[in-house]
Amino acid sequence: MARIGVFVCHCGINIAGVVDVEKVVQEIAKYPDVVHAEHYKYMCSDPGQNLIVNAIKEKRLDGVVVAACSPNMHETTFRNACERAGLNRYRCEMANIREQSSWVHADEPEKATEKAIQLLQVSVEKVKLNAELKEAAVPVTRRCLVIGGGIAGIQAALDVADAGYEVILVEKSPSIGGHMAQLSETFPTLDCSQCILTPKMVAVARHPNIRLMTYAEVVDVKGFVGNFKVKIHQKARYVTSDCNICGKCEEVCPVIAPNEFDRNLSPRKAIYLPFPQAVPARYTIDTNHCLGLNPLVCGKCKEVCEPKAVDYDMQDEDVEVDVGAIIVATGYELFPKDKIGEYGYGVYPDVIDGLEFERLLSASGPTGGEIIRPSDGKVPKVVAFIQCTASRDPDSYMPYCSKICCMYTAKHAMLYKHHVHDGKAFVFYIDIRAGGKDYEEFVKRTMEEERITYIRGKVSKVFRRGDKMVVWGSDTLSGEFVELEADLVVLASAIVPLPDTKKVANLLKIPVDENSFLKEAHPKLRPVETLVQGVYICGAAHGPKDIPETVAQASGAASKAVGILSGKELYHEPTTAEVNIDACSGCRICVDLCPFGAISFNENTHTVEVNEILCEGCGTCVAACPTGALKLRNMTDKQIFNMIRAALSGGD
């Protein structure tokens, strides 16, 4: 006979406003083996927890069920409370009567109450047969993997490394720096973007705790918090670290390719340095454009290389590393250009996006900082900026606000005026969202001091007339149709996650939201954690955000990772599979089923064995075991059968 105590939480009126908590207590008190039942306003509060602690002691309870919110919220809270009263933490379960009853059946209080009772019965049946378990201690690999070398990844890597732990920073492209390296100036201070970023890039390269792997991608992740095994694919760049970036190879290379760093507004060679301040400072051969890594075909770069750094025999390789924590900072891209038909982007060369305009503004850009339009190289005298391009448009494009466009468009308009004093700039906007320190003042300055015309309304169409770009829009404040002849149109295109983000999320088993941004564990309280322990997120891969917010989030993710790396040891969930070797027939079905390699066959006993540290407790093997020899601790077949019956009893 078990002695189960049931504690029903009101959660203020969140539960009690719908569910009749008195009735729940009355009914569940009659359920077999329930020896104590009570309700209280806030079970998670100190007095609430004390009710549980005292009842365990006074009523000699050997099992506890708390009917409250989701176990994802407070399971740990109540298990800790039970432990304080001397009850094994695995003898405590929750019944989710808030998220899965009161909140979703608000208009049917009687049925919600009935469901709450059934949910409680299910949990009582589970806890009755829960074994007392103890977590297994596992050592921690004191090393962190950071995926993505933009400002988010750079900041996270530096913070973890400064805390004294090894970091492996993996970046897909040949240099770290990300989009921030492409920007001209940053709002609202107009600091030169590269000037504030490059010291951090150099710090990464020089940091004794950071191992930088550029031109590399994470291709496989196994293991669990504290003990991840990661496979990194290092692409061959065909130039060794002996490269002294003299640039002679580039001079002789006969192949011209589009320069991605300049958003294809300028050419580069097949052997190239992405940009002058690239880290690592080392050339890369782009094999998609190179005539062939073969001295018989071309071989010019190899001929002129004095330090003999060009090596055509270099091979791609897979590197395996062990890490304890992972930070994902894979960044963003702008909405694909070929998908915005009405603005003629990708059709007319004089319709460009925000990052292309950044390159035009940048002193290191294709024009050396001179603003000229791509079609004929003339200085544009009228520029139209279109905000919310593909953002805030749930019918056709992305439903969300891309957050930084109001600010960078104001900056673009202001910088344009600084470059072209007699030019005119027009900004089409829906609303101005300038929430941030000194942001509102910055937009005001653009409007008032720089005399930029802001037109409130959406643009319906952009098309060519002669050598002008015609912009059709509306001014919703005057209610009039607007036609503007511009020389250049700049689109503040929506910020979208890189397609690779989804790939990385799949590898790590972390969820993404409906727009494919990485999803945090809790939107308010766990903004850098994910549902997978030991995996943290930061930067624009999580959602559109500006540089200060990205840096703050990166530092947050780093401190979370350091929390894992600095612990003495970690504890592994003991709710794993176990084998009854007397019943095991040695068929080995489970061995092939286990995705973690946790089950092995013992040739001597002709039975299988479960490695409890590798077992993640999914139970797939248990469901497949034909003899019932495998058992999932605290979720046995017997428990589930009882739970099913409890779910179906009553409520007729």
Partner 1 sequence: MSFEPKIVAFLCNWCAYSGADLAGVSRLQYPPNMIPIRVMCSGRVDPQFVLEAFKNGADGVFIGGCHTPGDCHYVVGNFKAFKRVVLLKKMLEQFGIEPERVRIEWVSASEGKKFAEVTKEFVEQVRALGPLNYVKREKA
- Interface stretch with partner 1, choices 46-54, 113-121, 350-358, 386-394 (CB under 8 A): 113-121
Of the two residues 234 and 620, which places its CB atom closer to partner 1 in the complex? 620
100 is a site residue for partner 1 (CB under 8 A): yes
402 is a site residue for partner 1 (CB under 8 A): no
585 is a site residue for partner 1 (CB under 8 A): no
- What's the min distance (Å) between Cβ of 93 and partner 1? 10
Of the two residues 108 and 569, which places its CB atom closer to partner 1 in the complex? 108
Of the two residues 8 and 406, which places its CB atom closer to partner 1 in the complex? 8
Q: How far apart are CA 69 and CA 515, in angstroms?
A: 27
- What's the min distance (Å) between Cβ of 520 and partner 1? 10
Name the amino acid, one letter, at 183. L
392 is a site residue for partner 1 (CB under 8 A): no
Of the two residues 422 and 514, which places its CB atom closer to partner 1 in the complex? 514
- What's the min distance (Å) between Cβ of 492 and partner 1? 26
Query: Of residues 122-141, which lie at the interface with partner 1 (CB under 8 A)?
Result: 122
What b-and-e string marks burial along 105-122, b requiring 16 or more CB atoms within 10 Å of the CB?
beeeeeebbbbbbbbbbb
DSSP characters over 226-267 = TEEEEEEEE---SB-TT-----HHHHH---EEE-TTTTTSSE
* Location of structure tokens 């009126």: 13
* Location of structure tokens 């490269």: 243
- Interface stretch with partner 1, choices 45-53, 235-243, 272-280, 509-517 (CB under 8 A): 509-517
Query: Of residues 20-39, which lie at the interface with partner 1 (CB under 8 A)?
Result: none
From 45, 54, 70, 460, residue interacting with partner 1 (rule: CB under 8 A):
70
Q: How far apart are CA 385 and CA 430, in angstroms?
A: 12
Of the two residues 363 and 648, which places its CB atom closer to partner 1 in the complex? 648
Contact (Cβ atoms closer than 8 angstroms) between residue 388 and residue 492 = yes
207 is a site residue for partner 1 (CB under 8 A): no
11 is a site residue for partner 1 (CB under 8 A): no
99 is a site residue for partner 1 (CB under 8 A): yes
Give Cβ neighbours of residue 651 (< 8 Å, ≥ 6 apart): 114, 115, 117, 118
Of the two residues 38 and 637, which places its CB atom closer to partner 1 in the complex? 637
> Number of helices and strands (H, E) in the chain?
16, 34
Name the amino acid, one letter, at 502. K
Query: Of residues 447-506, which lie at the interface with partner 1 (CB under 8 A)?
Result: 506
Name the amino acid, one letter, at 374. P
* Location of structure tokens 């019965």: 121
Q: How far apart are CA 273 and CA 283, in angstroms?
A: 5
- Interface stretch with partner 1, choices 51-59, 173-181, 400-408, 591-599 (CB under 8 A): 591-599
CB atoms within 10 A of CB 645: 12
Of the two residues 58 and 220, which places its CB atom closer to partner 1 in the complex? 220
From 199, 307, 567, 595, residue interacting with partner 1 (rule: CB under 8 A):
595
User: Which two tokens mark 9?
Assistant: 């939480």
Q: SS in 3 state form for 276-326? A: CCCCCCCCEECCCCCCCCCCCCCCHHHHHCCCCCECCCCCCEEEEEEECEE
- What's the min distance (Å) between Cβ of 618 and partner 1? 4
In the complex, the residues that contact partner 1 under the rule CB under 8 A are 70-72, 96, 98-101, 103-108, 111-112, 114-115, 118-119, 122, 506, 509, 511-514, 519, 531-532, 575, 593, 595-596, 616-620, 622-624, 632, 635, 637, 640-641, 643-645, 647-648, 651
